[in-house]
């Protein structure tokens, strides 16, 4: 699991069938001290996170397979959207 901030959404006209109807976010993962951790990643979201939200992400393939299908090539999914006020306080 890793925290990150939503920097946008992604759309595609050609995609794997398991992606059909799913919402994809572009998330910048963060290090333990809050800095960027590599390049942004595509994350499946069923919790309604939006641009600027702090999200807890997982790359546990089994969770994503249970959500959208055993043969999905997807890797990351939103596991939780932490309380905004608490997350802001913790970052200061």
CATH number at residue 19: 2.40.50.220
Residue-wise pLDDT for 42-91, tens only, equals: 999 999 999 999 999 999 888 888 889 899 998 999 999 987 654 444 55
* pLDDT value of residue 2: 94
Q: How many domains does the chain have?
A: 1
* pLDDT value of residue 91: 52
- For residue 85, the enclosing domain spans 2-91
* pLDDT value of residue 87: 45
27-33 contacts: CB < 8 A, separation 24 or more?
A: 27/55, 27/57, 27/76, 28/4, 29/2, 29/3, 29/4, 29/57, 30/2, 30/3, 30/4, 30/5
């Amino acid at each position: 699991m890793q925290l990150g901030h939503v920097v946008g959404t992604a759309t595609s006209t050609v995609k794997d069938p398991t992606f059909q109807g799913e919402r994809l976010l572009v998330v910048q993962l963060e290090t333990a001290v809050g800095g960027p951790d590599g390049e942004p990643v595509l994350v499946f979201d069923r919790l309604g996170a939006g641009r600027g939200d702090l999200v807890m992400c997982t790359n546990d393939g089994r969770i994503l397979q249970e959500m959208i299908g055993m043969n999905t090539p997807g890797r990351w999914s939103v596991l939780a959207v932490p309380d905004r006020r608490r997350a802001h306080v913790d970052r200061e």
